[in-house]
Structure 1
Amino acid sequence: MYIKNIISKRPYVIAGPCSAESKEQVFDTAKSIQDVADVYRAGIWKPRTNPNSFEGVGKKGLNWLKKVKEETTLKVATEVATAKHVELCLEADIDVLWIGARTTVNPFYVQEISNALKGTHKTVYVKNPPHPDLGLWIGAFERLYKSGICRIAAIHRGFYSYKKAVFRNDPNWEIPIRLRKEIKDLPIICDPSHIAGDSLLVQDIAQTAMDINLDGLMIETHNYPKTALSDSNQQISPKQLKNILNKLILTTNKLRDEKHELELLDFRDKIDMLDSLIIEMLTKRTDVVKDIAKLKLQNNLTIFQFERWLEILNTRRQKAIDDGLDKEMIIELFEVIHKYSILLQTSIIRK
């Protein structure tokens, strides 16, 4: 997949309100951030969970974005969810279109948008689907690419979680890291606003995005966040945006100092050795699981033993706490181990 480079610097900054609310609000916010942003974003069609919520100003908002494009140094971007949205944006010469999470999840919608874009040279951002389905996300890029769209980028906005958490959406950083492995040259931009759900957390998430070498940030910015008609809790002011960007620490993935390079290699050797030991222990554990499966088969026992599973969870969690480890990490680790233990026992018993 050949992807044209659309990122001119790091971090590449996309900023603007969640929703375009008025001509004045759109233009005033744009003027306030044009010295720090590369692209101005504003939603004019807002697919909301609750139909009684503000769902955007619609087509007239495109004229407001055109004014921003004509009178500032900013490119302009908005979300599209249908082929008709694409048609209207093409007529208004909107620079960048993005496909939202609720649209990415549906291959039929993505295909309609891809067909509508065929023959154009528009830049298209694709937000991840609400749930961590990497194949679905990659499929959206493939559909666009088959329609001749090669100016593309990913927007990582986190994933819905059933668990009560600090963030609105689970960052699940391993998913964008895996995406980069699958599509090497694809720019990946983080949306700290939607991950956070709280303006106070945007700084930390933006820094983490830079720490894992993502290419840019899409941050919801509003002249008066508290009065915003949508997502007011997670929007920040232009002044806050500038403060966040100024505080970012940009790191490199290469060490310039030879001494520190050797020290890092030594640490990595130690990690490799420990990982090898972990695999050896998992191999031994697997052998025991096989013996357990044979015993259960001989005695007509069920594969899943609920009380034993609770015992494993509770004792491993407490061990993690006692040893100063993150208990959630240990629980997730043993959930995966237990899942594959069940699958292995099932395959043995069903033979």
Structure 2
Amino acid sequence: MVMAAEGARRPVIIAGPCSVESREQTLATYRGLAACGCVNMIRGGVWKPRTYPSCFQGVGEVGLEWLAEAKAETGLPFGVEVANSRHVEAALGAGADMVWIGARTTGNPFSVQEVADALRGTEVLVLVKNAQMPDTGLWTGAVERMLAAGVGPERLVLVHRGFAQTSGNEYRNPPVWHVALEMRRRFPELKMLCDPSHICGRREGLAATAQKAADLSYDGLFMESHVRPDEALSDAAQQVTPEQLGELLAGIRWRRETVDVPQFEADMERLRLEIDQIDAQLFALLSRRMGIAEDIGRIKRENDVIILQRRRWDEIVDNMVARAGELGLSPEFIRTILDAIHMESIARQNVVMNP
């Protein structure tokens, strides 16, 4: 069973294979998921948006019949991915309780609007995954289209599945957590699920990613499970058996948001005040730094010198990264902060040099 501290929120767990492949595979997987006792809803892809036509594209509408049969046998509601109005019509006709919009569809406003129009007047649960780019714009637009079509916030759920990358990384789709957290800030009334399967792209790391999502106050998980994952026709490396999923979920701790303990509140208040003071000092120093950057811009303008001084900037970055261990900070964190400072400095100098 999923672990939850007394008083903690109970997570929503949606699981199933990346692709519905056969009646036997579908029923065996969902029987296993029902037996583990920790899944609220079953999921399965019947239409698969793949880059190359040679890849497995899904079994199509016949898969909906297998999902409906699995629902009748296990008692678990089911959902499928949809990308157009025909998909929505077929899914609802088969008795789907949920539909989700995948990352590729979220990135296409025309497709999102078509799906939203097809969902108008229905009562199914609607999940919206983030677009492939690490940006809140398309994700926000998809949510707003659903709300405008009458999909109420109680039936609309965000799914964070990570973002496409252009270089090597420990993740298949790096989570870029701050983008997802910004969506939570924009839509506090919506639930948000994490999809560790697509973030990790492999079985290793699923538990750690799921635990981080739990600690970041996500409302649940959206994961892939296959009765024979190594034989899966799509995304084999990131799927686990129902039994393995049950073991993984049993190890996730869903902690409380807070506790009514006077000493806890006192300790948190003391440390938060200290952080507030440090933050005030940090931003005062940053303000002074930007003032100096503007002075540098004036000197460059007077001497007709370009803004970007690459050698100087590389020297600053190298020096600070070399101190990462001494400062107890990761090199990645230092580079991220310095990049933000650098871009603001360039913007300030640009205003001075090109009024």
Calculate the TM-score normalised by the size of structure 1.
Answer: 0.96
Residue 309 of structure 1 deviates from its aligned partner by 1.8
Q: Following the alignment from structure 1 to structure 2, what is the Cα–Cα distance between the partners of residues 205 and 164?
A: 18
| Partner secondary structure for residue 13 of structure 2 | strand
2:19 aligns with 19
Deviations along 1:52-81, one digit per CA (max 9) or x if unpaired, are: 111111111010011011111211011001
For 1:287-334, what per-residue CA distance to the aligned partner results, in whole angstroms no more than 9, with x for missing partners? 110110000000000011111121122112112233231100110111
Aligned to 1:135: 137
Pair 1:191 & 2:190 matched = no
Aligned mates of 1:54, 1:108 — CA distance in 2: 25
Give the structure 2 partner of residue 345 of structure 1: 349
- Is the partner of 2:123 in helix, strand or coil? coil
Number of the residue aligned with 2:302: 298
Structure 1 consecutive aligned stretches of length 4 or more whose deviation exceeds 3 Å:
none
User: CA separation of 1:163/1:272 partners in 2, compared to 1, >3 Å: closer, same or farther?
Assistant: farther
Pick from 178, 183, 186: which aligns with 1:179?
Answer: 183
More off after superposition, 80-89 vs 250-259 = 250-259
Structure 1 residue aligned with 2:107: 105
User: Relative to 1, partners in 2 of residues 1:99 and 1:158: Cα closer, same or farther, differing over 3 Å?
Assistant: same
Quick one: distance in 1 between partners of 2:326 and 2:261?
38
Q: Which amino acid aligns with 1:11?
A: P
Q: Corresponding residue for 2:32? A: 32
Aligned length: 343
Which sits farther off after the overlay, 21-30 or 161-170?
161-170
Q: Which amino acid aligns with 2:242?
A: P
Q: How far apart are 1:239 and its partner, in Å? A: 1.1
Alignment of 1:24-173 (within 5 A): 24-34=24-34, 35-150=37-152, 151-173=155-177
Q: Is 1:252–2:262 an aligned residue pair?
A: no
Counterpart for residue 231 of structure 2: 227
Amino acid at match of 2:23: K
Q: Which runs of 5+ in 2 are unaligned?
A: 1-8
Counterpart Cα distance in 1 of 2:46 and 2:313: 49
Which structure carries more relative contact order (alpha carbon 8 Å, separation 6+)?
Answer: 2
CA deviations on 1:254-284 (whole Å, 9 max, x unpaired) are: 1232112201111111111111111011011
Shift of 1:245: 1.2
Give the Å deviation of 1:50.
2.3
- State TM-score, norm by structure 2: 0.95
CA-CA distance at 1:107 after TM superposition: 0.6
Q: How does 1:177-326 map to 2 (within 5 A)?
A: 177-326=181-330
Which letter does structure 1 place at the counterpart of 2:157? A
Residue 3 of structure 1 corresponds to none
User: Which stretch shows the higher mean deviation, 131-140 or 218-227?
Assistant: 131-140
CA distance in 1, matches of 2:88, 2:283: 50
In structure 2, distance between residues paired with 1:255 and 1:287: 44
Deviation at 1:44, TM superposition (A): 0.5
Amino acid at match of 1:229: L
Report the Cα distance in structure 2 between the residues aligned to 1:221 and 1:301, rounded to whole angstroms: 59
**CA deviation after TM superposition for structure 1 residue 25, in Å:** 0.4
Residues in 1 aligned to 2:137 and 2:56: alpha-carbon distance in whole angstroms: 32
Superposed displacement of residue 344, structure 1? 0.8
Q: 1:74 to 1:178 in 2, by over 3 A?
A: same
How far, CA to CA, are the matches of 1:240 and 1:256 in structure 2? 36
Letter in 2 for 1:123: L
Residues 120-151 of structure 1, C-alpha deviations (whole Å, 9 max, x = no match): 11111000000122121111111111111111
Inter-partner Cα distance in structure 2 for 1:262 and 1:51: 60
Equivalent residue for 1:4?
Answer: none
- CA deviation digits over 1:86-138, x for unaligned, max 9? 11112112110000000000111000011111121111100000012212111
Q: Distance in 2 between matches of 1:298 and 1:141?
A: 49
Where structure 1 has 5 or more consecutive residues not aligned to the other structure, the ranges are: 1-8
Deviation at 1:162, TM superposition (A): 2.3
- In 1, the alpha carbon distance for the partners of 2:311 and 2:331 equals 20
SS across alignment from 1:200: coil
Letter in 2 for 1:20: V
